[in-house]
Structure 1
């Protein structure tokens, strides 16, 4: 690492957290190389439709799609002089493809390359995110299946409630992630191309190139769109594509942030209860002062990043509403930040969630102890019903249990003792008719309802079909490795 990297600020998303693939997607190398591909395909389509563009020009463009350091330096110098990034790269491309210099960008406006490139990046970004999200769902599904029938305290209002299972709780996380998978796929499949529209979207320059032939202009738009594999070109645009498209893409990313935040928060709370623990590496340090600590730093990082991600869509929404007429340039600087950082942040969160889901540790003994402290109170209704079936009077039984419950609660809350309600019931001769059934009535698995069956049905009917398109990626995936 050069010394200069320590002397200027770097985004932690690209320098510290994000994958090489996502960082590369939004790099200058990819951006300017994509511009050149756009110019090449425009020239190819224009030549096919009758413009006199030499074969040599096409070949020189095709052979120089990648920029080297010298070209990047020349482009930077040209941009400083011309104050226009697109024209700087038109000039630089013409230097290495001199036969094409007069045909590069023919009839186009800057947004032909900038906007179409952005749409390509949005699609590629979603293509990177979708299998990663599917992999996280797959890992969590394995966790849910493993613990499908392990009873645990449910919580409402963060107070002990009816039992659920560890696996059933995980399905709540998975279901939200399935919705995110659906939303990202919808956004990806709905993306269109800006296409070849000209300066204010009227295609006037291309109509001149083709001597007023409207059919050829339409064919040009369709052909360039097809060369990039988009299902359609937007029927109308201004100079730019509508910035509402950015909202449509960033909204599902922001929605995913809520799923990630909820899941990571649940895990942090469960780590506090010592029922579940994050992966913890052999040499990992939890605290510089308290050597015993095992802080849930992965989930904490997810929560921090998710809050940031959830707010990215606000920039897209405000930018879309602030565009004047056919376009203004106040969108440019904002989008250079909000779009790449939304994708990089999502990418980072998915990597962390994969790492967490691959190494979650469950402590059944701790869970069982906590159940034992609360279950006697929850079991009182079962005790009452058993007594009624044995011939007892419901109201009298209810009153006896009420008194004993308050006595047991006083021991727990005021004396710090264990919940001894069942021992008190055993010691009351009134309950002798069901004394031999008390252990059965207190079996935690009799309090989890259909939780195991719900897990099985959910994984089979919902998760399995959703993951089928990503099975090859899942089968070849390696365990997630985190950066610092």
Structure 2
């Protein structure tokens, strides 16, 4: 097997277990056993015969080395798996193993079980990340900083409002994943060409019993080549990671030496350089970006997997064998790294406030313009401020001083008392923060598997 350094450094073990070799084989056996239960419920096989088959669907009957060597010859693992089950049974029972099913039925049912659990794990991680962001939103609702557009200072905002936008995005991602999880949790049992001809009128009974036992939804329409459900899951995972990457890049930018408004968690040798002793690299952000990009690349392959023709794919299905585990594992890795990033994030309000003055107060140009508009109208006020900004840069002078010299004494006397400060010009940041937290809490998953709440301690080094 190829060594994967990214996985070795930051993999999510729970997601890795969902797509492990042991889990795949175990799920195929579980599905074969559920099929036998369905056959018994439909009267296709006698009860005692069914019990013998079900008892044989256990990992001990599988020679793993032989399974994979034979799969390389056949092209798929279910044919040799079925033969191994049959080898442990008498001829009568062996005659009803895998009855009425096709290889993809078994593998797609197992895939549904895996993706259901994978979606559950992603929802768990999104929940942890969102909870952590909610703490940052509440804590920094009033932490003043420069808002930036096109990488330049624009107008004042708060760090809480910045985090609120991310939190709102993850609220929607949680909804998407919840829907995707429901849609992929669907049974497949339609036989060779998707018509259920081998089972005939008994097919629906078999499917219903299988679905009940596997806790999957039954459907009357085959999906051997209709891969929109699994592609939707991969896309939902990729969308989550895209926001994780955006969050990580934002924190990388804000942690630049010249900006210095945030930093990742401190710790001995954390992010250390082998040659530059001063370095503390943003390693959680970097892992988030690395995993996120890989999740998106894997998800894009699922669009090609949807191109399968006729009633069975000829190569497109195999794309899924790598793309779905890769998209899931990478998404989990990105979320884990993003959780580490936000939970240990150090925020420096003093540096944020100081940076507001880095451009000579020009960040308040819009605020001054709006104040002056009551005297001159917005368009004329814009021109006055535009010229004042240009001259303040040319003279390396604070904007307020240049603006004072641009106006006559009467105009300045009327304007000066109403000129806003950065803390006066925050608009709806408080409401934005409150709305984002409220929506996040409203959509909290009641069936979450998380038991330990995320706790974010006071930031080290806060000014």
TM-score when scaled to structure 1?
0.82
Structure 1 residue 150 corresponds to structure 2 residue 143:
yes
Query: Match of 1:473, SS?
Result: coil
Which residue of the partner structure matches residue 260 of structure 1?
A: 244
| 2:227 alignment partner in structure 1 | 243
Partner of 1:459: 437
| Structure-2 change in CA distance of 1:176 and 1:205 (3 Å) | same
CA separation in 2, counterparts of 1:185 and 1:372?
45
Relative distance call for 1:96 and 1:128 in structure 2 (3 A) is farther
Alignment of 1:364-379 (within 5 A): 364-374=349-359, 376-379=361-364
1:111 counterpart residue number = 104
Which residue matches 1:196?
189
Equivalent of residue 448 in structure 1, options 395, 405, 426 = 426
Pick from 133, 141, 150 the counterpart of residue 126 of structure 2: 133
Query: Pick from 284, 301, 309: which aligns with 1:298?
Result: 284
In 2, distance between residues paired with 1:271 and 1:471?
Answer: 33
Structure 2 CA distance for partners of 1:48 and 1:397, relative to 1, 3 Å? closer
Q: In 2, Cα distance between the equivalents of 1:217 and 1:385? A: 71
Deviation, structure 1 residue 59: 5.2
| Correspondence for 1:72 | 64
Please report how far the alpha carbon of residue 128 of structure 1 lies from its aligned counterpart in structure 2 after TM superposition. Answer: 1.1
Shift of 1:334: 1.5
Asked whether the equivalents of residues 276 and 360 of structure 1 are also in contact (C-alpha less than 8 Å), the reply is yes
For residues 212-263 of structure 1, the C-alpha deviation after alignment (integer angstroms, 9 at most, x for no partner) is: xx2x322112221222112332x2226x252222222112122223212221
Indicate conservation of the 8 Å contact 1:278/1:359, yes or no: yes
Q: Find out whether 1:320 has 2:306 as its counterpart.
A: yes
What is the alpha-carbon distance in structure 2 between the residues aligned to residue 328 and residue 398 of structure 1?
62
Partner of 1:17: 10
Provide the secondary structure at the position in 2 that maps to 1:155.
Answer: strand
CA distance in 2 between partners of 1:63 and 1:53 (Å)? 16
Contact 1:19 1:347 in 2 (8 A): yes
Match of 1:53 in 2: 46
User: SS at 2:207's partner residue?
Assistant: helix
Which residue of structure 2 aligns with residue 210 of structure 1? Answer: none
Give the Cα separation in 2 of the matches to 1:122 and 1:467. 21
Describe the shift of the 1:150–1:437 C-alpha distance in structure 2 as closer, same or farther (beyond 3 A): farther
Question: Which residue does the alignment assign to 2:79?
Answer: 87
Shift of 1:455: 0.7
- In structure 2, the partner of 1:334 is 319
Structure 2 partner of 1:473: 450
Q: Is the 8 A contact 2:173 2:236 kept in 1?
A: yes
Paired residues, number: 453
- Please say if residues 171 and 443 of structure 2, whose CA atoms lie closer than 8 Å, have aligned partners that are also in contact: yes
1:294, distance to aligned residue in structure 2 (A): 2.1
In the aligned structure 1, how far is the partner of 2:407 from the partner of 2:199?
97
Which residue number in structure 2 is paired with residue 32 of structure 1? 25
| Aligned-residue offset at 1:153 | 0.6
Cα distance, 1:184 vs structure 2: 0.9
Checking the alignment, whether the CA contact within 8 Å between 2:28 and 2:110 is kept in structure 1 is yes
Change in Cα spacing, 1:153 to 1:204, as seen in structure 2 (3 Å) is: same
1:352 pairs, out of 322, 337, 349, with 337
Distance 2:380 2:78 in 1: 86
Write out aligned runs for 1:420-435 (5 A).
420-422=398-400
Report the secondary structure of 1:448's partner residue: coil
Give SS of 1:55's match. Answer: helix
- The CA RMSD measured in Å over matched residues stands at 3.5
How high is the TM-score relative to the length of structure 2? 0.85
Unaligned runs of 5+ in 2: 457-463
The equivalent position to 1:223 in structure 2, one of 196, 209, 230, is 209
Aligned partner of residue 267 in structure 2, secondary structure: coil
Q: Displacement of 1:475 after TM fit?
A: 4.0
Partner SS for 1:373: coil
Q: How many Å apart are 1:266 and its aligned residue?
A: 1.2
Tell me how far 1:432 sits from its aligned partner: 10
Do the aligned residues in 1 keep the contact of 2:132 with 2:454 (CA within 8 Å)?
Answer: no
